[in-house]
Structure 1
């Protein structure tokens, strides 16, 4: 009768007691060192010995156990939103997460596609985060209450719409559209197209920018023509032809990348920029300065990701010390040759 080969036994999971024995210290000292407890004085040599022992054994602290002892987690939950990230957003987002980790938080991104605001909030609450930073704009007052009952000390929304019970960090994209429209009106343009990118998720930004243009031109008799545009040369060629049919004399192209795409299509079609159609972008990318004509744009001045991370930390430690609303973004026009 054949015997099955014996499977090698899995090595036991290392514990803090194993680290303490190898380092020659107490379990309390291991806890103080690995949790970076500042209130207890421990020599640098002992700290190095404990960390070396933990590395040698492959030991990592148990997050759930640590949370039970503390009464809350150190998890900051970032619900994911599908926004094709430009360089400005990527830099902000990376700096935000890096600073949170430096401050001792664990950053968790949570996919909430297909969930409405309250359903998503209940799913987030199951993880017992100490803070939630939401960009989606779907969070409701009821969802905020659910999160806080589950132990969230801070609920922060990024957008232009305040949510009762949450701290709103204002990143009002309408201001980008307002600045672009004001510049085009000052230059004498009176039939303005506004590009609406076809990429999923960008409507969170492009819709408010269109609203900002409409608010600014209201009462001037200036028509505003939405121009849906997919990021392809073929789509840009069709949009360039539409600019001619609609007799547009200027286009705010959402951002610099779409502005470059449309400007190239206009020039390929024999349309003079800015002689026949002015083109304006946003983000002030360096490449826009190398084009001919150089691209007029709206520069977005955002607080650093570090500033937002520090605000999250303050909201966790001193939730009553923050105002309900705080601006994080400003915009200003950078006029160049394309307008």
Structure 2
């Protein structure tokens, strides 16, 4: 049985018609093809600047925007670059990198879509992402892609599948971002300065284990064979939790601590000082990220400086792989790390 759509209530305004490219062409006094060339930033056709300005002004006046799905049907593929996201707190360093990447992709005429992937495993996530028919996927490692997942994405039309993480994935362009290097830098720095019982602060909140687990592994690797001990220290990101840890610090027998990042390091450093501990006399404290916050502390915070490659470079790689999916995978490291010694160690 066919149902008749409900009529608008008496006195309610009729729905406004959706403006079309024909309406824009009529108002601007140009052809529909010219409207398409201008609004899709087509460079293959030469159009004068006054005409471009007239088309844009007409589109703005009418409230017209191009239909992405229709453009994709004409082109045979979308311009969507999918950035899967998960429950990982993004600090200033990664926040800057992601913002730069998204701006660069937009300048290259891609549509950036962030996909919430919490609770999805590798192959399940790949199938969910494939439903959007992205032309490229840039996975930051929160979801472990498999070769089967990469194949699903490519069969759905993805020209580029790029992963950032410690392990390469068959079929994808894998760029190393090895968080173990951060922990190794901290471990080497502390051992070289004579510390032998080292605590490692791990966030209790869900999400950071993507980074914190490898950083702990890196510290353990750095101190292997030196006689130093490594003690994991789960810590919630609250003053109360830091105060409770500082209160039982004397019983832990630690002479140094490396925190997941500078914010956790400052949180614990402040609590230790408030509890009457001497830093670095009783305990050395080290963070990661080289935030301004750590440089403003007294004593100034030793840290691991992390240098990420510019997001612009990754966006350009996406564009190159989309244009040539069979190109030889690039294998350059996106991250470098080095210890910065200050007063707290």
Q: TM-score, normalised by structure 2?
A: 0.95
Distance 1:50 1:231 in 2: 52
> Is 1:75 the equivalent of 2:80?
yes
Distance 1:5 1:44 in 2: 47
TM superposition shift of 1:21: 1.1
TM superposition shift of 1:148: 0.2
Q: Deviating runs (4+, > 6 A) in structure 1?
A: none
2:189 to 179, 183, 190: 183
Partner of 1:232: 238
Stretch deviating more after TM superposition (282-291 or 28-37): 282-291
8 A Cα contact 1:253 1:280, kept in partner: yes
> Is 1:96 the equivalent of 2:96?
no
8 A Cα contact 1:192 1:225, kept in partner: yes
Partner of 1:12: 17
8 A Cα contact 1:137 1:157, kept in partner: no
> Is 1:55 the equivalent of 2:60?
yes
TM superposition shift of 1:111: 1.2
8 A Cα contact 2:246 2:268, kept in partner: yes
Q: TM-score, normalised by structure 1?
A: 0.96
**Structure 1: where are the runs of 5+ without partners?**
none
Distance 1:96 1:198 in 2: 29
8 A Cα contact 1:166 1:324, kept in partner: no
TM superposition shift of 1:15: 1.1
Distance 2:193 2:24 in 1: 70
**Structure 2: where are the runs of 5+ without partners?**
1-8
Partner of 1:160: 166
Partner of 2:29: 24
* Aligned CA-pair RMSD: 1.3
2:38 to 30, 33, 37: 33
> Is 1:84 the equivalent of 2:96?
no
Number of residue-to-residue matches in the alignment: 336
8 A Cα contact 1:137 1:158, kept in partner: no
Partner of 1:271: 277
Distance 1:29 1:285 in 2: 50
